[in-house]
Amino acid sequence: MIPSRMRIAPLWGSLALAVSVGLPVSIAPTSIITRSVMAAEQVDRSTVVVDFLNTYCLQCHDSGSAEGEREFESFALPIASQSHWIVADEIIDQITLKEMPPLDADQPSDDERIAVIEALRAALQDAREQVQSSGARTVLRRLSHREYENTLAVLFDRRVDTLGLTADFPKENTVHHMDNVGEALVTSGFLLDQYFHAADRLVETRLARPSIPPQSWHFTDNFVQYEELTGAHKSFFKFEYLCLYEQPNTDTRQGGYGHVEDFLEGVPVSGLYDIEVHAQAMHRDTHYDPKIFRIDFSEPFQIAVVPGDVTKGHIHYPQSIEPILGQSTVPDDQPEWLKFRVWLEAGQTPRFIFPNGPYESRASVIEVNKRYNQEFKDPKSANGVSRTHILREGKLPHIKIGEIKIHGPIAEPDGSTEELAVFGPKGFQPAQASEQLLAFGERAFRRPLEQLDRDRIETIYQKRIAQDATPRQAALDTVKMMLCSPSFLYLSEVTPEEEDRLRPHDLAARLSYTLWTAPPDETLFASASSGALNDPAELRRQIERMLADERSQHFVQGFVDSWLNLRDIGNLPPPRPDNIAYYAENLPEAMKREAYELFSHLLDQDGPVTDLIDCDYTFVDKKLAKLYQLPERETMRLADGFQRVSLTGNRQRGGVLGMAGVLTVSANGVDTSPVTRGVWVSENLLGIEPPTPPDVVPEIEADVSGSKTIREKLAKHSQDATCAVCHRKIDPFGYALERFDPIGRWRNQYAKPNGKSKSPAPKVDPSGQLPSGETYQDFAEFKTLLATARRDHFVENLIDKLMIYSTGRPTERSDRFAIEEISEHVQANGFGLKTMVLEVLLSEHFRRR
């Protein structure tokens, strides 16, 4: 049964639920000082609104006339009901569009319009915060999908991504782009059903898999490949070779996935399998123009193994579950045996991919036929996709596989990893079943078990025994129950409601999910059990230990993805023809990694957080070095991975605003806008949420004839003062970023308008003036302004985001004092990022329930 607090808490995440039943908006507890400030602000706003309504509106919309069924006489601030919320929205819309007052009535000045709009928007924001308030406490929250999968991987001590347990889960909601905020983590009946299916599949697949002796398979022919490859491979290869012609996930999908036709049924049982592939890289020295293939022939060809499931879709097309299981370099001179030990689920068959292969084999073959047709003795086509004669006489780059061996499942000498992880070092022992299940329950629930927990676990086990289940099956069914329990699915708190500070085990769980996205390890659990974790010195030691552990990369990736909204990369992908590199080199992954590397570096070194705005270095791999046109593109190799590179003298990059990931996620894939990017900077870096435009405000494209650039369109759009009041606060934060195209490439000019070659390409104007009056001329000066004039805003916003991420709740006005105190300490200690993280995790805010 879900606790009542769990059922009620999500109501506070939605105004609609609060006001739809006609209840007044309740006000969350705040400090006396905060309430006094709020009261003073509300008096000022109320005066502005009342004076405006009395002067321009009540003659038609008082209680006696109420033209258009709109009565404003009873409207007052603060907003405390559904009807007043609607009235405020409507007044903003009508005043913004200048549809009211009517033309034959006295008209307010632009200053009066702006003042009343700002007062109403502020009042709406206050009402929204009060409705959404959790009373400065974390709403009991369930594990996010990310936390859920990682928790299972830790508990079972084996990767679970090959199962795709969350593939059919509903998409996660976010708050401030955070995926771990309690009020957004809704639990539906459908999701509960998915939890049951996931637990059953995981336990049956991993712990109930039959024990069978290893088998061996050896494939030397019948390497059938589908669609347009079939004819060429039958004619020239007689199906004796399996060939990879392009990278996976292309549009054409011709040779992106190599499967074994005689092994479509896959492996008989989940387990470890040894795979050997006799392979050779063909024609890496081709004389054909490298631009045809869009790859770097100085790099050795790579082959990787991914799982495939013929029941889940086309075996030669992308599938929803295909993590890379192993990867190797392919030799050029002669075929060699390449060996992989991989985990395959029952029914999965190994497939082979060419990660750094040509982009779209079909297009490559067509181009070779066009440009090198005279080299072939008997060409079939000068313009088609025929490849038989190219394979016979030409030098088409590809990977050729002649033999494949599969052996397994491989026995694990001490017992399966999952068996030992769940039941302990001796595996399942019927005589100790209760003790083993209770020990697993303690790890799964992340706290000592209460008597009620023990009784339920024992009852389930004994009930299954009474139903004639074997002791082992009864134990497995009990494990499934525990994986569907609220105590597992939720970060449940045993701290009593009347206590403000978390008890040690609750604190340990919050800390471990913040830094490792996983349950506490033995060391942290022992610290909590002894009570030592309540000591600030011990808490600091545990935090520093956990930050030094490689598992803290889960924190780096989870937080950076949330803070910079990098999870949305790929939601609006750019068109392929103009952005081949984005797809051919899998740039989204590299884009994210650059942000992780910088954040991780500053965390390790306690480097200044201002480097996140502007610095003279960054971290790139060969792919990003090429995208950024850095000199290192000539010397770096793919095997080098990510390296720190100097940006001295290069102000085009440095800091998150020069990162392609940020620039891609703040565009729409097709074009860029100072509005979109300005909102991104305002929200993500400065913590200032611009007001939402009225629903009925015209699109920017309305009445902007003659405009050549987005800046000119915005200028026309903002000629109305009520539009300008918002745009002057947003657009200046986006103008400097117009230096970058939708995937973060530097540009001095926009694309030519309407594709007309005779029309000059408009130049980018990266200058601007901030709302407070400071001006900048280019991107470099803009970053300098943010790092100086807006430094304190940035620092406090980063602290705010860390507090939200670590506690799973949005901050409120009453938290401002804690943010300011942490900010002062961080500033006094050189603005170090590690210092900031430590202070957040040591704060009363973090330790409070």
Positive or negative CA dihedral for 80, 82, 83, 84? positive
Q: Mean pLDDT score of the chain, rounded to an integer?
A: 86
Q: What percent of the chain has pLDDT over 70?
A: 85
Residue range 528-569, pLDDT digits in tens: 999 999 999 999 999 999 999 999 999 999 999 999 999 999
In this predicted structure, which of 106-120, 257-271, 485-499 has the lowest mean pLDDT?
Answer: 106-120
Residue 723 confidence (pLDDT): 59
Task: Report d(CA 755, CA 490) in Å as an integer.
Answer: 54
Residue range 505-529, pLDDT digits in tens: 999 999 999 999 999 999 999 999 9
pTM: predicted TM-score of the whole model, two decimal places = 0.83
- Do residues 574 and 743 lie in contact, with contact meaning Cβ atoms separated by under 8 Å? yes
Other C-beta atoms closer than 10 Å to the C-beta of 291 total 8
Residue 777: pLDDT band (50, 70, 90) is: very high
**In 522-619, which ranges are continuous DSSP H helix?**
522-530, 536-548, 553-563, 580-584, 587-605
- 486, amino acid identity: P
Residue range 402-450, pLDDT digits in tens: 999 999 999 998 889 999 999 999 999 999 999 999 999 999 999 999 9
Task: Report d(CA 386, CA 229) in Å as an integer.
Answer: 9
In this predicted structure, which of 4-8, 297-301, 370-374, 789-793 has the lowest mean pLDDT?
Answer: 4-8
Residue 366 confidence (pLDDT): 93
Token pair, residue 189, equals 């009946």
Task: Report d(CA 437, CA 455) in Å as an integer.
Answer: 12
Instruction: Report the interhelical angle of 504-515 vs 553-563 (nearest 10°).
Output: 70
Residue 698 confidence (pLDDT): 52
- Do residues 309 and 317 lie in contact, with contact meaning Cβ atoms separated by under 8 Å? no
Task: Report d(CA 91, CA 100) in Å as an integer.
Answer: 8
61 φ/ψ angles, rounded to the nearest 5 degrees: -125, 35
Token pair, residue 776, equals 């900048």
**With 60 as the cut, is the pLDDT of residue 148 above it?**
yes
Residue 671 confidence (pLDDT): 87
On the CB side of 623, how many CA atoms lie within 13 Å of its CA? 23
Segment 356-360 shows an average pLDDT of: 92
- Do residues 623 and 590 lie in contact, with contact meaning Cβ atoms separated by under 8 Å? yes
In this predicted structure, which of 495-504, 511-520, 788-797, 820-829 has the lowest mean pLDDT?
Answer: 495-504
Report which secondary-structure segment, H or E, holds 130.
Answer: helix 110-132
Segment 282-293 shows an average pLDDT of: 95
Residue 715 confidence (pLDDT): 59
Closest CA to 338 of 315, 305, 308: 305
Task: Report d(CA 602, CA 608) in Å as an integer.
Answer: 7
Residue 31: pLDDT band (50, 70, 90) is: very low
Residue 712 confidence (pLDDT): 62
Residue range 161-208, pLDDT digits in tens: 999 999 999 999 898 899 999 888 888 999 999 999 999 999 999 999
In this predicted structure, which of 326-340, 469-483, 497-511, 615-629 has the lowest mean pLDDT?
Answer: 497-511
Report which secondary-structure segment, H or E, holds 478.
Answer: helix 471-483
Give per-residue burial for 402-414: e unless 16+ CB within 10 Å, then b.
bbbbbbbbeeeee
How far is it between the farthest Cα atoms of the chain?
94
**With 60 as the cut, is the pLDDT of residue 17 above it?**
no
Tell me the three state secondary structure of residue 115: helix
Token pair, residue 470, equals 């074997």
Contacts of 605 (CB under 8 A, 6+ apart): 834
**What is each CA distance from 324 to 161, 342, 375, 638, in whole angstroms?**
10, 9, 38, 17
**With 50 as the cut, is the pLDDT of residue 15 above it?**
no
